Structure 1
């Protein structure tokens, strides 16, 4: 089901985002991606979706490897560089040193990698999913929808790219519901739906009635137990129409568009692309309410909309807090 969802999203995006000055079908850029997890995984699915859309438009030749073990990551990166790919993309959490070593050995290849660390001159750029802004908005919704004032959060690992989203979510929930308490759990995996589901079940048994689904599997538990879930990175409401009340979306299209533009113009350099995940660049967004449009109280929706506009016009700034979130005492 997850793979079908990703394929459908890719096809829908193929004509949705146009890159100014994109390569023509006769002159596509060679682009490769190296993923440590399956392309169904939320984070990677967004990169894959944007790159496949560029391929469908004829801008790039796109090859990728998924579920690459950390021990094999450096080898696969080198193989793609040796094959003449102009741009190599991936997520290097856990393989930072190896990835940066490869970049040094191939200075004429552009590397754009998901990373918690800084760019490395001259050719190693980084990006991250800075969707803390829509995460704050989904937190507001969670705070307004909970009946027990008990909210649960299930994440993969307590690293900055997860922590900042959870902390923003908690801050948003507290704005609407100062009495809310939070239970936080990390499963120690980026893709283990059964483990995430069990962690969610344990929270529901303790009275949690809204769950932040940072990992796949959480919404399944919420559905089975009749509680609500908040989605992360992608919108899974179509699969959980009575469960997923809202989602913070991440779009990699702006990031990919900028990178392709720079590579094509031969001006690519070591930079931090994280800003292209912000709402003002359309890299982050609050998903449509869909099946919950008439279930969310009108006053709550008004508060969320006002906060959204404040974020976009700069009058409200969501704090970036990378510290590990803790359960309420």
Structure 2
């Protein structure tokens, strides 16, 4: 009886939401209960269905967009039917996950470790559905696996580039929510910067949010006023505030998660990318082929899951000596000569 009530609740929410989208012309998403937005399914084979849940907006040009791009790869390359829910609050996770499971989705992806506990619990009731959690180490037989990309190595490379590009001897890193994936990247940034340029000053702060663009911008401006001439912000949607502050102040920025140079071509030197789109698509392909095991996967530089974006217009401006130092750091992470330890 309880499952039937929840099922009806899920269906009612989707029906109301889709009606609202239609009333608005279908061109923009509308907010469902718990500030979670739901899209309609998009193309592909109807025999295999994949759902994605993200904690923030999929157009953030960062963390959430990374997962969404992975979903598009699944749709385009694996020909699966896909659907996503964005801005899913913790209080709504259970209902959304169960809704997709009841609708017969073969794979449900929770983008972020915060989905882990709910996935583990719900998965027990749906043994024929696969549950994937990103940025996590959870696993549970027979149907829960996780994908994690080495945030420490990502931070190390961001810090390396920032330090080598600094003229003032001061760089800054700003993290969003105080969660392991982000705190690890901020700590890795410090280690990478200090290894590249001994004695460099590293300013850092955690915002406590991934959504407050104004707070990120104000924090970046404060660091710039303290002498930082290169800024890195790893804070999902809020990260754009750090880049905007750098742009307005005439200093440099390092992008995170996706290539963020297009948002500020004269400001963002490079970005250290976490290739979640590829990692997610490959993992779903393994499920389709019956090859995935219920285990945790950790991917890093050596796996091609963490890498530098192009330097774009900065390519001709960066001295070859500095490029070689950056490449040396990449190679050292690949072969294990450098092990980032920021616990």
Q: TM-score, normalised by structure 2?
A: 0.80
Residue among 199, 210, 219 paired with 2:230: 210
Residue among 260, 264, 270 paired with 2:284: 260
Residue among 173, 184, 195 paired with 1:153: 173
The alpha-carbon distance between structure 1 residues 291 and 92, as it changes in their structure 2 partners (threshold 3 A), is closer
Per chain length, whose mean CA-contact separation is higher, i.e. which structure has more relative contact order (CA < 8 Å, sep 6+)? 1
Q: Counterpart of 1:233?
A: 257
Unpaired segments ≥5 residues, structure 1 = 1-24, 324-329
The alpha-carbon distance between structure 1 residues 237 and 26, as it changes in their structure 2 partners (threshold 3 A), is closer
Contact kept, 8 Å, 2:110 with 2:116, in 1: the verdict is no
| C-alpha distance in 1 between matches for 2:308 and 2:255 | 10
Contact kept, 8 Å, 2:261 with 2:268, in 1: the verdict is yes
Q: Counterpart of 1:310?
A: 332
1:115 CA displacement: 4.4
CA offset digits 1:40-79 (Å, max 9, x no partner): 2311211110111221235211001111221111100000
Q: TM-score, normalised by structure 1?
A: 0.83
Give the paired residue count. Answer: 295
Runs of 4+ in 1 over 6 A off after TM superposition: none
RMSD value, Cα: 2.0
CA offset digits 1:295-325 (Å, max 9, x no partner): 222211111122223333x15233142x3xx
1:26 CA displacement: 5.1
| C-alpha distance in 1 between matches for 2:164 and 2:199 | 11
Contact kept, 8 Å, 2:150 with 2:298, in 1: the verdict is yes
Q: Counterpart of 1:140?
A: 160
Question: Bigger radius of gyration, 1 or 2?
Answer: 2
Residue among 247, 268, 272 paired with 1:223: 247
| C-alpha distance in 2 between matches for 1:97 and 1:267 | 24
Unpaired segments ≥5 residues, structure 2 = 1-43
User: Aligned runs of 1:84-163 on 2, under 5 Å?
Assistant: 84-163=104-183
| C-alpha distance in 2 between matches for 1:46 and 1:306 | 27
User: Aligned runs of 1:39-118 on 2, under 5 Å?
Assistant: 39-41=58-60, 42-118=62-138
Q: Counterpart of 1:180?
A: 200
| C-alpha distance in 2 between matches for 1:85 and 1:319 | 38
| C-alpha distance in 2 between matches for 1:125 and 1:77 | 15
SS of the residue aligned with 1:261?
helix
Contact kept, 8 Å, 1:32 with 1:88, in 2: the verdict is yes
1:301 maps onto 2:323 in alignment: yes
SS of the residue aligned with 2:83?
strand
| C-alpha distance in 1 between matches for 2:52 and 2:45 | 21
| C-alpha distance in 2 between matches for 1:118 and 1:209 | 39
Contact kept, 8 Å, 1:103 with 1:124, in 2: the verdict is yes
